[in-house]
Amino acid sequence: MKTSVIVTTYNWPEALSLTLDSLLRQTRLPDEVIIADDGSGKATAEVVEAFAAKAPFPVLHAWQEDEGFRLAMSRNRAIAKAKGEYIIVIDGDLILHEAFVEDHLKNAQPGLYLQGGRVLLGERMTKDIFAKSFDPRNIGPFSPDLGNRKNALRNRLLSRLFLRSSTTMKGIKGCNFSLFKKEILAVNGFDNRFVGWGREDSEFVARLYKAGMQRKNLKFAAVAYHLYHPENERAALPQNDERLQKTLLGDRIRCEDGIDRFLKRVEE
């Protein structure tokens, strides 16, 4: 199954470089990687160019102007370019376990939105990794300076035991998820009107539920290590909460301003 990995980023080329390097170590390589760039500068472009020169698969850089936090639009722009039938979306501050892509694909099913967890690397661990005094390939469940430590354990038997479907809105996170591209298109992708941090992922999943899909959390699989950084500014959260509530209370499946805006451009 042809698979596209979408990597979101904004002006943190050091972290993006680690994420991309971890994609090169996968037991099942992606068929293409697309960088969903929300307006980064030259340093990020240089990281993408260097990665594309050594990657054994196509690499695209889907860049948009820096006009504030526009993650939803950035993702739509990248997914519209994807040639894969299956889409895995990650943030560009994750270091991936070598079986990350393999785990997503083994659990992929039509009608399922798969969400993986993350291990939180502490500030000290993150500094050591950037300083190259600690090799991220050596991170495990018993490494120091970890949060959500249990998420560092990969075990196929436990993963099967804990794999259950639901339609809950609790705990939705967009840093590590996957589904078929046709299912993204069916709900018109993310709502481009989300500007500022927060709730664009939940609103997207709410429409997937209304379209008849279910969510499965990948436990003890698709392991990803999240590099430490300060929390994003959340001034836009009230208005984004309001937009989410309108979707939850309504019956709308497709957003008005979504991925179709960029699909037209790809076709042209």
Enumerate the β-bridge partners of residue 208: none
pLDDT number for residue 55: 98
Res 237: pLDDT? 83
Phi, psi of 67 (to 5 degrees): -125, 40
As a whole number of angstroms, the distance between CA 261 and CA 266 comes to 9
HSE at residue 36, side-chain half, CA atoms within 13 A, is 28
Burial 127-152, CB ≥16 within 10 A → b, else e: ebbeeeebebeebeeebebbeeeebb
Q: What is the pLDDT of residue 265?
A: 65
pLDDT of res. 266: 60
CB 80 within 8 A of CB 17: no
Write down all domains in the chain, each with its CATH number in brackets: 3-267 (3.90.550.10)
Residues of the chain falling short of pLDDT 50? none
Residue 130: predicted pLDDT: 94
Dig out the tokens for 252 from the structure: 């709308």
Residue type, 16: L
